[in-house]
Amino acid sequence: MKKLRIDLLRHGETTLSHTLRGHLDDPLTEIGWQQMQSTIQKHMASKADAQWDVIISSPLQRCQLFAEQLAEQLQLPLTINPHIKEMHFGDWEGISVQEIFGTAPELLSNFWQYPTQFHAPNAETFAQFQQRIFTGFEQVYTLMHTQQYQSALVVTHGGVIKLLSCLAQQQSLDDVLKMPAVHGQLYPFKFSLQQGQLHFEREA
């Protein structure tokens, strides 16, 4: 099936940016809003084909509130997809890395190096996270294909962008936390669904 374009926008700075937020629903700071707005404005000013056909967002307010405002501004349809939320960090949610290092240094170190094998207490495993994200992007692809959308803006989270970057570059999934995903920045991809399998590639 054909390749479709998705531009992934990571949410900006939030009130709990110093912690592992995961599924916590903390709001954007004023700086966070500005980071996202500045990125979108620069993108639309620099590319003739910058317009999207649809905006898709995580339901967490650090993504959804900005997506709603932008969809209204650009007069674009908006879809909320619950599967493209950040990884769930269990007992580590809302806690800074420094605090976690003070109480569970070995597990934190193992998680940082081998996230496919280690996870926080009561957290989502990497396999569960990956499957959930795949489900979400299968839905995104089906929506775009059915509606004949060529490109979408997806407002999402660092973990999601890091996972797709790893897959696109065919790197070890244990490298996922080393992938860049800067607050408020845009990451362009193309993706397709072939024989029930999602394929991602980075777009220049």
Q: What is the DSSP letter of 29?
A: P
pLDDT at 192: 96
List every span in the chain annotated with CATH 3.40.50.1240: 4-10+27-86+124-202
Q: Strands of 84-176 (E only): list them.
A: 151-156
In the predicted structure, residue 49 carries a pLDDT above the cut 80 = no
Query: Domain 4-10+27-86+124-202 belongs to what architecture?
Result: 3-Layer(aba) Sandwich (3.40)
In angstroms, what CA-CA distances link 60 with 70, 94, 99, 169?
16, 15, 24, 28
Mind listing the pLDDT tens digit for each residue in 94-143? Answer: 999 999 999 999 999 999 999 999 999 999 999 999 999 999 999 999 99
> Side by side, which strands form the sheet with 78-80?
78-80, 54-57, 151-156, 4-10, 186-194, 197-202
pLDDT at 69: 98
What percentage of residues in the chain have a pLDDT greater than 90?
Answer: 93
Residue 188: helix, strand or coil by DSSP? strand
